[in-house]
Amino acid sequence: MGLDFTVIPKYLDVVLLGALWTIAITVASALLSFFGGIFFAVIALYAPRIVRLPFRAFEWLFMGTPLLLQLFLIYFGLVQIGIDLPAFVAGVIGLGLHFAVYNSELIQSSILAVDKGQMEAARTLGLSRGQALRKVVIPQAVRDVIPPIGNNMIALLKDSALVSVIGVSELTLSAQLAIGRTYRPFEFYVLAALVYYIINLGMEAVLRRIEARVQAAR
């Protein structure tokens, strides 16, 4: 049958709308995973044992099971206990928590690498333990893990395609909708790949800028 890229302009708006949803879910999930990672790291290192143990079980669940299964559990499973989340919200929570656990591991290692004298000096100046963590230790720890967390954000963008299985009309599902109407899979999957690549380049540019500003602030 050959290739026919002339079908693309008619459905370009559908694919671009999907790209906007992809960007939205990526940004929302990235923010949740970043701040969630900090929160989880503090729990893992400083919370009482009675809190740490359930958290370890939660961490094992998200690190030891596929992201796709986690999305199914959040979107389809929670309905059975009366929690009915919109697909977009379920996707953000699933992606955000999944990557928050991995970010937490990075941040924990970085916190432990901060000189203990920093905490002691902060306490000497009259800061409480929580204030010392928030104002002195955690900012230093986070600054040192910006590059690997940035890599996780890129992985998050790619995994955002999985939310199509719970009905979010992001880029991949939008391309599939166009394919269903035109029977032109190659053309629209190539278009989707190109749009993902452009979004990826934009994310990398933003992350490089953040890293440069962090390095300049040292």
Relative orientation angle of helices 8-46 and 87-113, to the nearest 10 degrees: 40
- Going by pLDDT thresholds of 50, 70 and 90, the confidence category of residue 169 is confident
Residues 6+ apart with CB under 8 A from 71: 90, 91, 94, 95, 162, 163, 165, 166
pLDDT at 142 over 80: yes
- Which DSSP string corresponds to 148-215? HHHHHHHHHHHHGGGGGGGT---HHHHHHHHHHHH--HHHHHHHHHHHHHHHHHHHHHHHHHHHHHHH
Whole-number pLDDT of residue 217: 62
Collect all residues with Cβ–Cβ distance below 8 Å to 35 and sequence separation of at least 6. Answer: none
Q: Stretch 189-194: mean pLDDT, rounded?
A: 95
Return the pLDDT at 54. Answer: 86
Question: For the chain, which residues make up each domain, given as ranges?
Answer: 5-216
Which DSSP category does 114 fall into?
S
The CA distances from residue 206 to 96, 148, 217, in Å, are 19, 14, 17
CATH topology of domain 5-216: MetI-like fold (1.10.3720)
pLDDT band at 155 (very low <50, low <70, confident <90, very high): very high
pLDDT at 1: 61
The pTM score is: 0.90
For the ranges 5-9, 16-20, 131-135, 199-203, the lowest mean pLDDT is seen at: 131-135
Average pLDDT, the chain: 90
Q: What pLDDT, in 10s, does the model give residues 82-129?
A: 999 999 999 999 999 999 999 999 999 999 888 888 787 888 877 887
pLDDT at 135: 84
